[in-house]
Structure 1
Amino acid sequence: MPVLGLQLMMLKDQINEKGMYEVLRQVRELDIDAVEVSQVEMTDELIEDLVRGRADFGVETAAMSASIAPGGNGFALETEFDRAVDACRRTGSRFLRIGMMPFSAMTSKQACEEWAASVEPYAARLAEQGVTLCYHNHHVDLIQFEGERIFDIVRRVAPSLLFEVDLHWVQRGGMAPLDMLKAYSGACKLIHVKDFRIAPLPAETVERFEAQDMDMTEFYSVFLSLAQFAEVGQGNMNWPELLPAAEEAGAEYFLIEQDDTYGRDPIDCIRESREYLASIGY
């Protein structure tokens, strides 16, 4: 069974306030076995905290973030390749992940191919060092250019680059997650376990519209923005079918994630997600 972890983007403020080591203590108390590091600066101190957290609490580092060029919070492989590999060895992480391709790469087939071609040499070099580079999708990765999805372009041009599948974004992109897992079986190494719900239509919006205090364009913008990220088990995703299918597709880690908690304490949201996953056997 894949290891159950947490995408630490949810606790980035806590990491910045009290350090990674104390956050890993909290993660362990939530009965979570691994973490993915994202949206925090990869300082030497933070890496050392990951090493200590693994030794003291048994919390694995499932993956850390990377990019090709400098400018993000992860390792920039152009300039920090050796440091990234060393951090993986020290923490025990077997995965690095790219959170998103540049927006410019999403504009055409040629642009996407050029980006994927620039990534492939780094993915191949990392594989030689025992580290797998994965690409994390959003809904835009379901864009089709001449009948070929961005997913397909990436697999064709960068075969050494595997996938971190965000099932919420697959659903939002218009592809059934079960179909995606089947289509790309073998390449799906990391899975973001993130639910998808539709919020109630605000009564105030309806009242304003019916009172003709809001035109159709404004009303429809609200109507189309009801999609939300949800605690696992609190949305419409079919986890009892999705998680076994993800495991069959090659998943090694299931990572709880919720991009927005809508004012709730993220610890409470994580706890609810963890309790639901326990209730279905994870």
Structure 2
Amino acid sequence: MPVLGLQLMMLKDQIHEKGIYEVLRQVRELDLDAVEVSQVEMTDELIDDLVRGRAAFDVEIAAMSATIDPGGNGFALSTEFDRAVEACRRTGTRFLRIGMMPFSAMTSQQACEEWAASVEPYAARLAEQGVTLCYHNHHVDLIQFEGERVFDIVRRVAPSLLFEVDLHWVQRGGMAPLDMLEAYTGACKLIHVKDFRIAPLPARTLAELESGELGMAEFQAAFLGLVQFAEVGQGNMNWPALLPAAERAGAEYFLIEQDDTYGRDPLDCIRESREYLRTLGY
């Protein structure tokens, strides 16, 4: 069974306030066994605290973030390759993950191919060191160029680069997540467990349209904006079918994530997601 964990971007404010060591303590108290590190600067101090926290709380470091070139959070592989490998060794991490391809790579088949080709050598070198590089999708990865999805282009051009599948974004991109998991079985190593909810239409928004305070264009924007990220079990995703399918596809970690908690304390949202997953046997 995959290890259940948390994408720490949900607690990045707490990391900045109290440090990642104390956040790992909180993760253990939530009955989660692993974390993925994202959207924080990978300083030597933070890596040291990951090592300490892993030992103290028996929390696995499922994955850490990477980019190719400097400029984002995570290890820049073009300049910090050896440092990234050493951090993986110290923390027991077997996965690095790229959170998104550059926007420029999303504009054409050629641009996507060029980006994937630039990643492949790093993915292959990491594999030689026992580290798997994964690519995290968004809805844009369902773009098709001449009938070929971005997913397919990445697999064709960068076969050493595997996937971190965000099932919410697959759904939002218009592909059935069960179909995606079946199509890419063997490449799906990390799974973001995040629900997809449609919020109720606010009565105030409708009243503002009827009174003329809100134009039709603004109303349509609000109408289309009813799509939300949700606590696991509080949306429309079919988790009783999806999680076993993700296991069959080769997933090693299930990582709870919710990009926006809409004013709720993220710890409450995480706790709610964890309780739901417990009802499914996780």
Q: TM-score range by the shorter chain?
A: over 0.9
One-letter amino acid of the structure 1 residue matched with residue 161 of structure 2: L
> Which residue of the partner structure matches residue 240 of structure 1?
240
> Which residue of the partner structure matches residue 184 of structure 1?
184
Provide the rounded CA distance (Å) in 2 between the counterparts of 1:62 and 1:213: 49
Provide the rounded CA distance (Å) in 2 between the counterparts of 1:18 and 1:53: 13
> Which residue of the partner structure matches residue 270 of structure 1?
270
Provide the rounded CA distance (Å) in 2 between the counterparts of 1:218 and 1:73: 35
**CA-to-partner distance for each residue in 1:152-211, whole Å, 9 max, x for gaps?**
000000000000000000000000000000000000000000001001101111111122
> Which residue of the partner structure matches residue 195 of structure 2?
195
For residues 80-99 of structure 1, the aligned pairs below 5 Å read: 80-99=80-99
Provide the rounded CA distance (Å) in 2 between the counterparts of 1:213 and 1:25: 49
> Which residue of the partner structure matches residue 231 of structure 1?
231
Provide the rounded CA distance (Å) in 1 between the counterparts of 2:157 and 2:229: 31
> Which residue of the partner structure matches residue 34 of structure 1?
34
> Which residue of the partner structure matches residue 71 of structure 1?
71
Provide the rounded CA distance (Å) in 1 between the counterparts of 2:187 and 2:91: 23
> Which residue of the partner structure matches residue 52 of structure 2?
52
Shift of 1:216: 1.8
Shift of 1:53: 1.1
Q: Normalising by structure 2, report the TM-score.
A: 0.99
Provide the rounded CA distance (Å) in 2 between the counterparts of 1:253 and 1:264: 25
Provide the rounded CA distance (Å) in 1 between the counterparts of 2:17 and 2:85: 27
> Which residue of the partner structure matches residue 142 of structure 1?
142
**CA-to-partner distance for each residue in 1:59-103, whole Å, 9 max, x for gaps?**
000000000000011000000000000000000000000000000
> Which residue of the partner structure matches residue 108 of structure 1?
108
One-letter amino acid of the structure 1 residue matched with residue 264 of structure 2: R
Shift of 1:217: 1.2
**CA-to-partner distance for each residue in 1:117-160, whole Å, 9 max, x for gaps?**
00000000000000000000000000000000000000000000
Identity %: 87
Shift of 1:215: 2.3
> Which residue of the partner structure matches residue 173 of structure 1?
173
Shift of 1:213: 2.8
> Which residue of the partner structure matches residue 219 of structure 2?
219
Provide the rounded CA distance (Å) in 2 between the counterparts of 1:188 and 1:168: 15
One-letter amino acid of the structure 1 residue matched with residue 249 of structure 2: A
> Which residue of the partner structure matches residue 7 of structure 1?
7
**CA-to-partner distance for each residue in 1:22-71, whole Å, 9 max, x for gaps?**
00000000000000000000011111111111111000000000000000
**Paired residue secondary structure (1:88):** helix
Provide the aligned C-alpha RMSD in A.
0.5
For residues 150-169 of structure 1, the aligned pairs below 5 Å read: 150-169=150-169
Provide the rounded CA distance (Å) in 2 between the counterparts of 1:211 and 1:262: 27
Provide the rounded CA distance (Å) in 2 between the counterparts of 1:55 and 1:182: 36
| Runs of 4 or more consecutive aligned structure 1 residues displaced over 4 Å after TM superposition | none
Provide the rounded CA distance (Å) in 2 between the counterparts of 1:105 and 1:262: 30
Provide the rounded CA distance (Å) in 2 between the counterparts of 1:80 and 1:213: 54
Number of aligned positions between the proteins: 282
Shift of 1:212: 2.9
For residues 115-130 of structure 1, the aligned pairs below 5 Å read: 115-130=115-130
Provide the rounded CA distance (Å) in 1 between the counterparts of 2:219 and 2:56: 53
Q: Normalising by structure 1, report the TM-score.
A: 0.99
Where do 5+ consecutive residues of structure 2 fail to align? none
Provide the rounded CA distance (Å) in 1 between the counterparts of 2:46 and 2:274: 25
Provide the rounded CA distance (Å) in 2 between the counterparts of 1:214 and 1:27: 44
Provide the rounded CA distance (Å) in 1 between the counterparts of 2:266 and 2:212: 38
